[in-house]
A and B are shown apart, each in its own frame.
Chain A
Amino acid sequence: MLRDYIVFLARAFVLSFSGSRLFYAWMALLTVVAAIGGHVFCRQLVDGLELTGMTDQISWGVYIANFTFLVGLAAAAVMLVIPAYIYRNQDMHDVVLFGELLAIAAIIMCLLFVTVDLGRPDRFWHMTPYLGKFNFPSSMLAWDVVVLLGYLLVNVHICGYLLYMKYLGRKATPLFYMPFIIISIAWAVSIHTVTAFLYVGLVGRPFWNTAIVAPRFLGSAFTAGPGILIIAFQIIRYYMGYQISDRAIHTLRNIVTASLLINLFLLSCETYKEFYAASSHSSSARYLFFGLEHLGHYYGKLVPWIWTAVLMQLAAGIILIIPPVARKIVFLNIACVLANIGIWIEKGMGMVVPGFVPTPQGTVVEYAPTWSETLICLGIWAFGLLLFSWMLHLAVPIMMGKFSFRDRVGVATEAESKAYAA
C-alpha cells in the first residue's frame, strides 16, 4: 500500500512537469515573478524591514493587508463545502474540491505574508509550543497561527484523501473525511473571526475596536472567495476540459450576491456610526474617507482608493441584483472582478492602515508600500497562483479519471485493480 502511494507521488511529480506549451509558459511566468519576490525577500533579510515603507507609527502595511484578504479567500471555501456536503448539492459536489485547493493555496500565502512581515524570521521557532514560548491562549496572533495551521491541515487531509481515493478508483470512506468536513466548516468561520479579533482586541485603536469587524470580514470573504472561484471555474472548464455546470456557477453567483449586499450593508452601518456620531474615535474613518488636516498639512493618500473600492463594490452589487444582466457570464465576471478588487482594497489597506492614523499620540503619518514590499507581495501572489495551478494540474486529471492507478497497472492487471477496488 505504501508502495502504491510512493508510486503515486512519483507519477504526480512527473505529471507536474508535463503539460502544454501554454502550461509551461504560465508556470514559468509565475516562477519568475515568485523568484523575483524571493530575491527581494532575501535582500530584506539582509537589510532589514528598513526596505519597507512601514514606520513606528504605521507598523503594519501591505503584507498584513494581503494576509487579511487571503485569510478571507481561505475561509470562503466553506461556501462550497456547506452546499456540497450538508445540502448534498450535486453541482457543488463536483467542484467543492477546487474551493478547498484554493483554501490551501491561500493559507500558505497567508503564512508567507506573516513570515515576510516578521523582523526576525529566524526566530519563528519561538512560536513552537514547548520548544519555544507560545503565548496561547492570551495572544490572538497565537490563536491565528493555531487556526491557520489547523485549517491547512484539515484541508490538506480532505483533498489529499479524496484525490488519492479517486486515483485508486476506490470509494472514499465517509468516516475518514466527513468529520473533517464538519470541522472545516466551523474552522473556516473561526479563521476569519480570529483574524478579525486580532484587530478588534486592541483598545488603543478605535477604528478596529468595533464588534462589526468579524461579520464584515466574513461578508467580504464570502464575496471575494466565490467570486474568484467563478472565474477559476471558467478557466478550468475552458483550458482543462473539466465539465463544470452553469448551475454550479449560478449557485456561487447567488452566494456572491447575498454576501456582497451584506458586506455593503455592514460597511454602511460602520460609516453611519463613524460619521453621524462623530467623536475623536472617528478620526481614522475620516482619514480613510476624506483625509485629515493636521498642523496645516492635508493627509489623504487613501481617499481615492477607498472611494474606488466603494464604487467598485456598488457597481458589482448593481450588476448582481439585476438577474437578466447577472446571468450573462460576461457581466457576472465583471461583477466578480470589481467586487474582488474593491474588497482587496477595503479590507486590506483600507482596513489596516487607517487603524494607525492618527497615532495614539495624535500625530499623522502616511504609508505607501515601497518597491521591495510590492515585489515581495507580487512574489507571494505568484507563488500562491503557482501552487494553485499545480494542484489543479494534478487534481483535474485525477477527477476526470485520466490519471489513475488503473492506467498505470494497465489492461493486463485489470483483475488485480478490481480486487483492489473491492
Chain B
Amino acid sequence: MPNDSDDPSRTGSSSCRADPGQEGMGRRELLKAGMGTMAALATLAGVTAPLLSLRDGPSLDEFLQRHYTQLTPEMMEKILARIEHEIAFRYGVKTSVRDYKPIPDVEFAYALNLNRCNGSRRCVYACMKENNIPLDHPEQAYIRVVELDNDSLDLEEGNVLYNHDQVPQEGKYYIPIQCQQCRKPPCTKVCPVQATWTEPDGVTVIDYNWCIGCRYCMAACPYEARRFNWSRPKFEPEQINPDMGYLSNRIRPRGVVEKCHFCLHRTRQGKNPACAEACPTGARVFGNIRDPKGKINFILKNKRVYILKADAKTIPRFYYFFDR
C-alpha cells in the first residue's frame, strides 16, 4: 500500500483523464468498461438465478390487493374466486371460500373446564383437520396442551410433550392453550400494517393477503398462540377441508402468520368450533358472552374462573374454570 499513500492525487488525475472535456475514452478504457459491465451483468444474473424457480409468488392481482377493510363486496367476490382458483390450481381440490361476516349482537367467548380436561389432545387434531394445517406438521397446531402437577400453576414446570398410554395421569392436570382472543390484544397493537385486528364479534383475525411476515405479533403474544408459515403447506387433496373462510381456515400462503380464530367459518354460521365438537369430555364450552342467560355467563357467575396470565392485563375472552 505504500504506493497508495499518494493515491488520491492519482484518482484525481484519472478522473481528469476520463473527463468529457478531454479527448474521448481510449480503446483500453472502453474495453475495461465493457468488461466491467459484462461482469456486473453476470453477477446480477448469478444473484437472481434462483428466482427462476419461484412458483408460488403472488399474482399481480394478489400483489395489488387492498386491505380487508377497504374491499367492496364486488372486489371480495373476485378475490374469493381467485383464491378458489389458486387452490384448484395448486392442490387440485374444489373448495368454497367465503367471507363470513360477524353475527350482530354476538361476542364469542370460550370457557374450558380444567377439572374435565383429560389431556387427550383430540381438540388439537380436530383443529388441524378443520383448519387445513398439514398433518405432517404438528408443530403448526394452534392448540398445545400443557400437563402440570396438581400443586402447580407454573407453566415453566409444565410439559407439552407428555406421551402416556392413558390420560389423565394421577396427580396431573391439563391446560390446553390456544389464542385467548384478548380484549386488549398486544399482537394487533404492534402490527405495522394492521394486518391483524379484532372483529366486532371479539375474534382477532389475520388477513393472510396483507400480512408482511415481520413476526412482531409473535414476539408480542404472551400466550405463544401464533404460528408462522415457514414454508408453503403441502397436502394430499383428500386432506383438505373444502369449507373455507377468508379470515379463517383457507390454505395460508407461505410467509404469513396464522393462529386460532375460533373457527370463524363455523361459528359465524352458528356451529361449534372444531375443538369443542371433538372434546371427548365436554370440557370445552363455547358461546356468546353478550347473552346474559347464556352458558358463558352462567360459568362466569357460578364457577371459579381463572384467566391465563392475568397479570398481562390482556383481558382474554378465553376462560378456564374449575368445578370444585
Contact = CB atoms under 8 A, between A and B. Distances in A.
A118 B232 CA distance: 15
A35 B218 CA distance: 31
Interface stretch (B116-124, B185-193, B242-250): B185-193
A142 B230 contact: no
A139 B51 contact: no
A411 interface: no
Interface residues of A, number: 83
Contacts of A35: 43, 46-47
B214 A204 contact: no
B134 interface: no
A170 interface: no
B54 A46 contact: yes
A192 interface: no
Given A119-B228, A135-B193, A403 B43 contact: no
Given A42-B51, A139-B191, A203-B313, A361 B214 contact: no
A362 B195 CA distance: 27
A402 B3 contact: no
A396 interface: yes
B43 A119 contact: no
A120 interface: yes
A123 interface: yes
A212 interface: no
Interface in A360-384: 360-363
Contacts of A132: 67, 193
Most buried by B among A50, A242, A400, A410: A50
Contacts of B309: 204, 360
A119 B14 contact: no
Interface residues of B, number: 83
A408 interface: yes
B291 interface: no
Most buried by A among B7, B36, B58, B159: B7
Contacts of A410: 21
B297 interface: no
B16 interface: yes
B12 A42 contact: no
Interface in B209-256: 210-216, 218-224, 226-232, 253-256
Most buried by A among B8, B213, B254: B8
B57 interface: yes
Given A122-B58, A133-B67, A402-B9, A204 B193 contact: no
B38 interface: no
A283 B156 contact: yes
A201 B189 CA distance: 10
Nearest to B146: A361
Interface stretch (A52-60, A222-230, A247-255): A52-60
A35 B42 CA distance: 11
Interface string B281-312: 00000000000000000000000000001001
B43 A400 contact: no
B15 interface: yes
Interface string B51-88: 10110011000010001000000000000000000000
Interface string A392-422: 0100110010110001101000000000000
B41 interface: no
Interface stretch (A17-25, A80-88, A90-98, A338-346): A17-25
B165 interface: no
Contacts of B224: 56-57, 359-361
A54 B43 CA distance: 29
25 contacts: A11-B19, A15-B11, A17-B36, A39-B46, A42-B48, A47-B231, A48-B254, A56-B140, A56-B218, A59-B215, A59-B219, A119-B213, A123-B193, A126-B193, A127-B193, A134-B193, A139-B216, A202-B190, A202-B219, A203-B222, A359-B224, A362-B155, A397-B12, A402-B11, A402-B12
Interface of A: 7, 10-11, 14-15, 17-20, 22-23, 31, 35, 38-39, 42-43, 45-50, 52, 54-57, 59-60, 114, 117-124, 126-127, 132-135, 138-142, 145, 198, 201-205, 238-242, 280, 283, 294-295, 355-356, 358-363, 393, 396-397, 400, 402-403, 407-408, 410
4 closest A-B pairs by beta carbon, nearest first, are A119-B213, A204-B222, A119-B255, A362-B155
Given A132-B193, A241-B6, A241-B8, 4 more contacts: A119-B211, A120-B212, A133-B67, A133-B195
